[in-house]
Every structure is written in structure tokens, then in C-alpha cells.
């Protein structure tokens, strides 16, 4: 029964990683950029949800939607100000800029608000359900349901909507997409908006699940979500989902086995192994890249 309990805990943690990883993989898929500022968008989402619940007295779903909207606007702003003019630059220039944007967001936030952590207000009733002998909290069930709904919605947008077709076209060939009349700049901005909105949702879910947030909280979950994206296959949306869930389960199993100090190390060991033995990820295909 203990392992069933830990499996559900791993799924809850993996849901957070998966939502953040989707933003990484969407941006990389369309412009081949690792947006290391994405973890800080996740942090802004958590604090937006905290403000909405504690100050505006909103319930969970309105706070979640507000955090997603704020983070979507922030994501588009970052793309337009920092990344748009670097489209034709080297990848290392874009990568350094992403790291700089990450630090800028963190320390501007600390400058205006301070570095002290906050305790997330209780917004969900704490109930437990007995599933196969394991006690599962209502929070874990709600987190999983929200994550699944957002992932289904994302899949619908990408595969069934007009903007989704434009995103896939731009990811495949930007020049050809321009010739077909697609507004590449707007398509990239919408991609950032969607990915950032998912990170904002993950921030609210993280705050409710772990009850503690701080201005530097996006660093480790952001790195782990990046590992999840690489594990599943960077640039592949289903891969980010599966990678997030797998990483969450692995971390939980490591902790439950009595090696909690190795929990963070396990994620980076997975990254090293995947880069050595299958650098394209679980769902990725090895392909030659023109340099």
C-alpha cells in the first residue's frame, strides 16, 4: 500500500514538472531556444495566485485563471523585449540572454518585495480518499484533474485549431510559413503566451501542494522541468508530459526508499544518462542538424 501511496504522490509532483516542461518544449520546438527564464515565470504565477487568494479573496479556479493570464502577458513581454531581436543571432547569445532575463526577474522581484518566503493560504478543503488502500488527498486529485484538463486543452489547440496549425508550420520551416501568409512573429508570441500560462498554473498548484513559496523557488523546479523535457524529447509535447510524470515518480520513489538527500541528484543523474544513451529523449528521433 505504501508504494501505491508514493505512486500517487509522484504523479502529483510530476504534474507540476509536466506543466512547466511543456513551456520549455513548446518554445524550443518553434525557435530552438531554451528559455531559462521560464522557471521565474512559474514563480510569478505562484505569487500571483497567492495575491489573488489572500488579498482579492478569490477561490482556486479564478486565482488559477488570473495567474495564467498574468504569466501569459509576462511571457509575451519577455519574448518581444528580449528574444525577438535575437532570432538571427547565435544560440549561445540567446541562451546567455535567457539566463540574464531569469536573474533580472528574480532580483527585481526581490528588490520590490523582499526575499522572505510566504505560506500559501488554504483554499481547498482537505479531504482524503481511500484508493486501493492508499490515502489520497483531495488536493492531489484536483491537481491531477487540472493538469489533465490543461494538457488535453493544449493538445486540442496544437492539433485542431488554426493557431496550432500555424505553430506547427513555423516549427517546421519559418521561411515557408511566411510564404504561406503566416504571421511568424505573432505565432511565436502566442507560443510563449501558452507556455507561460501553463507555467503560471503550475506555480499556483505548487503553492497549494507545498504551502511555501519564495522569490527563488523557480530555480530547481525549472531545472527539473527542463530535465523532464529532455527526458521525453525536447520539442515534443507528449514527451514533456511523460517526462514530467516519470521524473516525479522517480523522485518520490527515491525519497520513499530512504534516500531523500539524493532526491535532487536523481534528476540530474537521469539527465546525464539520457544524454549519454539517448540524447534525443524517449519520443525523439536522431536527426542530423545543419550547423
Q: Per the structure, how many domains does the chain have?
A: 1
Residue 99 counted as domain residue = yes
Does 11 map to a domain?
no
How far, in whole angstroms, is CA 236 from its chain's centroid? 14
Write down the pLDDT at residue 132: 67
Q: What region does 40 belong to: left with phi over 0, alpha with psi -120 to 50, or beta?
A: alpha
| 169 found inside a domain | yes
pTM: 0.91
Q: Tell me whether residue 203 is in a domain.
A: yes
Could you tell me if residue 61 is inside a domain?
Answer: yes
Q: Which pairing describes strands 128-131 and 134-137: parallel, antiparallel, or unpaired?
A: antiparallel
The segments of the chain whose pLDDT lies below 50 read 290-291
End-to-end Cα distance, the chain: 52
pLDDT tens-digit series, residues 203-243: 999 998 888 999 999 999 999 999 999 999 888 888 999 99
Q: Which residues have a Cβ under 8 Å from the Cβ of 266 and sit 6 or more positions away?
A: 250, 251, 254, 259
Asked if residue 161 is part of any domain, the answer here is: yes
What 8-state DSSP symbol labels residue 55?
A: T
**Residue 58 lies in domain:** 20-217
Asked if residue 94 belongs to a domain, the reply is: yes
Residue 276 lies in a domain: no
Q: b or e along 262-284 (b: 16 or more beta carbons within 10 Å of the residue's beta carbon)?
A: eeeebbeebbeebeeeeebbbbb
Amino acid at each position: 500500500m505504501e508504494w501505491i501511496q508514493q505512486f500517487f504522490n509522484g504523479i502529483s509532483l510530476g504534474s507540476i514538472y509536466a506543466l512547466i516542461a511543456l513551456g520549455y518544449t513548446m518554445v524550443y520546438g518553434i525557435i530552438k531556444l531554451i528559455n531559462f527564464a521560464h522557471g521565474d515565470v512559474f514563480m510569478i504565477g505562484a505569487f500571483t495566485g497567492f495575491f489573488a487568494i489572500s488579498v482579492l479573496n478569490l477561490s482556486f479556479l479564478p486565482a488559477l485563471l488570473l495567474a495564467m493570464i498574468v504569466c501569459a502577458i509576462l511571457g509575451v513581454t519577455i519574448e518581444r523585449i528580449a528574444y525577438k531581436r535575437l532570432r538571427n543571432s547565435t544560440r549561445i547569445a540567446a541562451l546567455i540572454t535567457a539566463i540574464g532575463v531569469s536573474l533580472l526577474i528574480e532580483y527585481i522581484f526581490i528588490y520590490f518585495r523582499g526575499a522572505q518566503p510566504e505560506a500559501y493560504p488554504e483554499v481547498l478543503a482537505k479531504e482524503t480518499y481511500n484508493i486501493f488502500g492508499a490515502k489520497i488527498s483531495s488536493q492531489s486529485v484536483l491537481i491531477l484533474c487540472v493538469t489533465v484538463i490543461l494538457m488535453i486543452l493544449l493538445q486540442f489547440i496544437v492539433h485542431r485549431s488554426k493557431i496550432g496549425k500555424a505553430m506547427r508550420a513555423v516549427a517546421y520551416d519559418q521561411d515557408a510559413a511566411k510564404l504561406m501568409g503566416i504571421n511568424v512573429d505573432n505565432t511565436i508570441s502566442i507560443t510563449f503566451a501558452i507556455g507561460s500560462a501553463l507555467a503560471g498554473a503550475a506555480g499556483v498548484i505548487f503553492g497549494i501542494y507545498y504551502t511555501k513559496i519564495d522569490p527563488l523557488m523557480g530555480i530547481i523546479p525549472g531545472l527539473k522541468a527542463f530535465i523532464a523535457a529532455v527526458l521525453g524529447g525536447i520539442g515534443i509535447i507528449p514527451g514533456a508530459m511523460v517526462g514530467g510524470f516519470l521524473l516525479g515518480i522517480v523522485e518520490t520513489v527515491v525519497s520513499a526508499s530512504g534516500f531523500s538527500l539524493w532526491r535532487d541528484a536523481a534528476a540530474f543523474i537521469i539527465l546525464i544518462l539520457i544524454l549519454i544513451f539517448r540524447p534525443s529523449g524517449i519520443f525523439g528521433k536522431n536527426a542530423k542538424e545543419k550547423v
